[in-house]
């Protein structure tokens, strides 16, 4: 993925969390996970490292590294499933739920790539889409499950938007994510309003509506101008600098693998 940008991934990250968790089974798998070390509120830095390590391996790693990451993620997901009679049945190892997560990541990456480096068309867009399949297969998504082309993806995405549903419990969790409420004071109070505005800008209207977020034409104009200014500076950087910190997390993954240290 030549258009990868590490800062773009960070800026758009909270919006992607909203997108992924807009499906109730994905949301409740996160909210009710018994994997204490992966909880955002308790271990925000570890959660950040784990997420970006997965993204780094999926987008920049080799096939063997992706298989290793897939195994590590699969091990962590084994115990994340709902009990009998749960009103929202979920299983973190369900390939269909992971396909939605991967689809959200692709849609977010495509949006950042377009905003930072200009429109994609034809062969470039097709290549970017094909590369994005690794976002799913580095999880438990089987290769044949990824929509075969961009037109098929749009059909899948349109259907996925019909399943958006954010109840009050999920809304409270996501509100903490997009207002930085999980950060200790005063960092959360300082960072929160800016993160809320930026996240709202990266969200499509369907997700804003589900979260009850207001967004005006003036907000859109200011957002477009701000992102364009950031993008201009990013295009001046050499590839390795633009991909940071993703390339750093790939290096960290390789060191941890060599030393047999936990990845997830």
Residue 264 maps to a domain: no
Residue 1 maps to a domain: no
| Number of structural domains the chain divides into | 1
For 1-49, how does the pLDDT look when each residue is reduced to its tens digit (9 = 90+)? 678 899 999 999 999 999 999 999 999 999 987 765 545 655 578 888 9
Residue 54 maps to a domain: yes
Residue 164 maps to a domain: yes
Asked whether 9 and 246 are in contact (CB, 8 A), the reply is: yes
Read off the pTM. 0.92
Half-sphere exposure (CA, 13 Å, Cβ side) for 259? 9
Residue 235 maps to a domain: yes
For 177-210, how does the pLDDT look when each residue is reduced to its tens digit (9 = 90+)? 999 887 777 767 778 899 999 999 999 999 999 9
Under DSSP, the state recorded for 91 is B
For 47-62, how does the pLDDT look when each residue is reduced to its tens digit (9 = 90+)? 889 999 999 999 999 9
Residue 263 maps to a domain: no
Residue 185 maps to a domain: yes
Give the DSSP H or E segment for 203: none
Q: State the pLDDT at residue 86.
A: 85
Q: State the pLDDT at residue 41.
A: 56
Q: 234: left (phi > 0), else alpha (psi -120 to 50), else beta?
A: alpha
pLDDT surpasses 90 at 263: no
End-to-end CA distance of the chain: 24
Asked whether 82 and 88 are in contact (CB, 8 A), the reply is: yes
Task: Taking residues 103-122, report their average pLDDT.
Answer: 94
Under DSSP, the state recorded for 118 is -
Q: How many helices (H) and strands (E) does the chain have?
A: 14, 0
Residue 100 maps to a domain: yes
**Domain range spanning residue 248?**
6-258
Burial class (CB in 10 A: 0-12, 13-18, 19+), 147: middle
């Amino acid at each position: 993925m030549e258009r990868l940008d590490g800062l773009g991934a960070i800026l758009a990250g909270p919006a992607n969390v909203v997108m992924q968790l807009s499906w109730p089974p994905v949301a409740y798998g996160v909210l009710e996970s018994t994997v204490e070390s992966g909880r955002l509120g308790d271990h925000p830095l570890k959660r950040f490292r784990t997420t970006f390590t997965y993204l780094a391996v999926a987008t920049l790693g080799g096939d063997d590294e992706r298989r290793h990451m897939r195994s590590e993620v699969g091990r962590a997901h084994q115990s994340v499933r709902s009990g009998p009679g749960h009103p929202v049945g979920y299983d973190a190892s369900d390939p269909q739920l992971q396909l939605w997560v991967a689809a959200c990541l692709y849609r977010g990456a495509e949006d950042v790539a377009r905003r930072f480096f200009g429109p994609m068309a034809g062969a470039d867009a097709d290549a970017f889409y094909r590369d994005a399949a690794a976002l799913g297969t580095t999880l438990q998504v089987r290769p044949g499950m990824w929509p075969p082309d961009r037109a098929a993806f749009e059909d899948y995405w349109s259907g996925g938007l019909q399943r958006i549903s954010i109840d009050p419990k999920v809304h409270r969790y996501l509100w903490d994510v997009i207002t930085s409420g999980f950060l200790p004071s005063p960092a959360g109070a300082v960072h929160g309003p800016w993160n809320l505005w930026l996240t709202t800008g990266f969200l499509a209207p369907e997700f804003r509506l589900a979260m009850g977020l207001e967004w005006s034409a003036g907000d859109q104009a200011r957002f477009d101008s701000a992102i364009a200014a950031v993008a201009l500076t990013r295009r001046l950087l050499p590839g390795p600098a633009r991909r940071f910190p993703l390339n750093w997390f790939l290096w960290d993954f390789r060191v941890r693998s060599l030393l047999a240290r936990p990845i997830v």
